[in-house]
């Protein structure tokens, strides 16, 4: 039986998130073994009794069977932490979602992504700005990430598609429960040129409480978050907050101090977000001239075990000799690998032959 089935099973249990799932897999060796463990065994490994009760309710029902059938029938892709196809940028945030459901296709080039978010009550000004920035970034080869909501989100997706780019919509529902309903046609276009993505199991309705948590996935997938128009209570401000916590850059478009839909953006700028006046300003800010270079380098020279080992070592500026010593590899091999990693935007020199890993948020900023 597919191991992913058990990941989905745990995903159906409210209260078992990233922290609990990590504990279970580490304790039992796999999701399947954890799924088959008794309540007593689970409690012995730290799962609270109340969660054991919820798990037992799911295990004794046909909920997983019905969910798995829905996944198979609709061709929904299931990604877990253990999959190479799990978005690398998202994997590195604090407590990344254990399971992702995807309709469409995620590509390696989607690592080069920028989120554009904002108010549902978009004004003509907000629409014009969002269209211009989304189209510009898509034309530069970046994937546009947003939430498929009315207003700014929908405009950002549409502009990216019209520009011939890729776009990812992160839903606050199952990927088979498109909301709002008037965006079903847009969702189908996104599936053809990107992906619908959610960490909620198929069949999950678009409940209000689902949307704030999904915003951390929007920012987690992205190198930067741009808020084009937002009121003081806009959910886009939550996305900006998550972006700041994750070390992503935050940009905001200024607006009139008398315009309600611009108060959130103006407040973000006051709090330290980068003021964005022109789409062209994103070229130096995001170092867009390097996007195609790094894409080409990553395709030509896929990552290997040595790169991963080096990244684990250089969490702070580390001399090349020290890297060689810690890994027990010849200095020539380390040097050659670092050259490629620098070309890919994975590391940077910190002076005098010291190297440090480029945080995902710094890939185009530092």
Looking at per-residue confidence, does 278 or 361 come out higher?
278
- Residue that finishes a domain, picked among 286, 306, 324: 286
Instruction: Report the pLDDT value the prediction gives residue 364, as an integer from 0 to 100.
Output: 37
CB 306 within 8 A of CB 339: no
Residue 253 shares a structural domain with residue 273: yes
Q: Say yes or no: 217 and 295 in one domain.
A: no
The number of residues making up the chain comes to: 366
Whether residue 86 is contained in a domain is answered as no
Question: How much is the average pLDDT of 347-363?
Answer: 69
150 shares a domain with 64: no
Paired sense of beta strands 113-118 and 143-146, if any = parallel
Query: Is 71 in contact with 78 (CB distance < 8 Å)?
Result: yes
200 and 217 belong to one structural domain? yes
Query: What is the spatial distance between Cα 211 and Cα 328, in angstroms, rounded to a whole number?
Result: 47
Does 87 fall in a domain? no
- pLDDT, residue 297, reads 59
- In whole angstroms, how far apart are CA 194 and each of 25, 105, 113, 120, 336? 31, 6, 12, 22, 34
Does residue 233 sit within a domain? yes
Look at residue 151 and tell me whether its pLDDT is greater than 70. yes
Is the domain of 110 the same as that of 259?
Answer: yes
Q: Are residues 121 and 183 in the same domain?
A: yes
Q: Do 228 and 273 sit in the same domain of this protein? A: yes
Q: CATH number of the domain that 61 lies in?
A: 1.10.150
* Shared domain check, 9 and 42: yes
Please say if the pLDDT value at position 144 is more than 50.
yes
- Domain boundary residue among 250, 266, 286? 286
Residue 97 belongs to a domain: no
Of the pLDDT bands very low, low, confident and very high (cuts 50, 70, 90), residue 360 is: very low
142 & 236 share domain: yes
Its domain, for residue 352, covers: 291-362
Using alpha carbons, select from 163, 157, 213, 208 the residue that is nearest to residue 185.
157
Same domain, 206 and 57: no
The CA distance from 169 to 154, in Å, is 9
Residues 144, 234, single domain; the answer is: yes
pLDDT tens digits, residue range 291-342? 656 666 565 555 778 887 888 888 778 999 999 999 999 998 898 888 888 8
End residue of a domain, out of 231, 266, 286: 286
The tokens describing 190, both together, are 């996104």
């Amino acid at each position: 039986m597919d191991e992913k089935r058990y990941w989905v099973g745990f995903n159906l249990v409210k209260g078992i998130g990233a922290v609990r799932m990590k504990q279970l897999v580490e304790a039992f060796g796999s999701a399947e073994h954890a799924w088959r463990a008794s309540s007593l065994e689970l409690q012995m490994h730290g799962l609270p009794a109340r969660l054991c009760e919820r798990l037992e309710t799911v295990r004794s029902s046909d909920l997983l069977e019905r969910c798995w059938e829905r996944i198979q029938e609709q061709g929904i892709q299931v990604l877990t932490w253990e999959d190479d196809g799990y978005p690398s940028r998202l994997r590195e945030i604090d407590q990344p979602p254990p399971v992702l459901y995807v309709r469409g296709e995620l590509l390696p080039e989607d690592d080069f992504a920028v989120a554009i978010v904002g108010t549902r009550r978009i004004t003509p000004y907000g629409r014009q700005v969002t269209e211009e920035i989304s189209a510009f970034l898509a034309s530069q080869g970046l994937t546009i990430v947003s939430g498929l909501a009315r207003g700014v989100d929908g405009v950002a997706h549409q502009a990216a598609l019209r520009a011939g780019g890729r776009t990812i919509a992160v839903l606050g529902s199952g990927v088979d429960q498109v909301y709002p309903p008037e965006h079903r046609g847009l969702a189908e276009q996104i599936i053809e040129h990107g992906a619908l993505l959610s960490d909620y199991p198929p069949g999950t309705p678009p409940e209000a409480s689902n949307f704030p948590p999904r915003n951390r996935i929007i920012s987690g997938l992205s190198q930067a978050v741009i808020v084009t128009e937002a009121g003081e209570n806009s959910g886009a401000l939550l996305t900006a907050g998550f972006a700041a916590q994750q070390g992503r850059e935050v940009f905001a478009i200024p607006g009139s101090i008398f315009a309600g839909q611009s108060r959130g953006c103006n407040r973000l700028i006051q709090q330290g977000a980068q003021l964005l006046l022109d789409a062209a300003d994103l070229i130096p800010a995001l170092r867009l001239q390097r996007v195609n270079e790094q894409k080409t380098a990553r395709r030509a020279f896929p990552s290997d075990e040595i790169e991963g080992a080096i990244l684990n070592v250089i969490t702070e500026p580390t001399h090349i000799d020290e890297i060689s010593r810690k890994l027990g590899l010849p200095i020539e091999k380390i040097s050659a690998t670092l050259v490629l990693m620098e070309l890919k935007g994975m590391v940077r020199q910190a002076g005098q032959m010291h190297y440090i890993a480029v945080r995902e948020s710094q890939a185009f900023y530092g």
